[in-house]
Amino acid sequence: MPEPASDAPPSVLISEAAIGRRVEELARQISRDYAGAGELVLIGVLRGAFVFLADLSRRLTVPCRVDFVALSSYGHGSTSGGAVRLVMDLRLNIAGNHVLVVEDIVDSGHTLAYLVAILQARHPASLKTCVLTRKAGRLETDVALDYVGFDIPDRWVVGYGLDYSDRFRTLPYIGVL
């Protein structure tokens, strides 16, 4: 994927209204799936998932707690170095809890697969994933994606938590650079 032009304004790929509708649909589905299961632990992957996690969690009708992890795989450029590392760990003990990992984007799938392996070793009652965007054509690993917001083209996207060099995260829509 070529380096995006960071000074050009992003063109809208997914509108704010479309995101709102899809987040509401995902929240209804997740709430149905976890109804009666007890408290759900939502794990947001920082920094990109914070906007999505906030909107999703406010729409859930099941009791939940929120925690965060931070992973690194991209560094400062636009291409992954291949190695994934845990930068910030959970504060909560997830053993015996139902856990939903909330991620902004799945590209190759390596980062999410790494996180799922770490979390599985902590013996949650269940572990599922919810991703806002997926570049299906770029997946290189077999990682379960239980809830998917949008399939997107192989372009550099920003907004609604997604960034380019820590810019554009706060756009209310998802745009293409």
Active-site positions? 107
Residue 119 and residue 2 in contact, taking contact as beta carbons nearer than 8 Å: no
DSSP state of 171: -
70 vs 121: CA distance, rounded Å = 18
Measured in whole angstroms, how far is the alpha carbon of residue 63 from the centre of its chain?
A: 20
121 vs 114: CA distance, rounded Å = 11
3-state SS class at 101: strand
3-state SS class at 10: coil
- 126-134 vs 147-151, strand pairing mode: parallel
Q: How many CB atoms lie within 10 A of CB 113?
A: 19
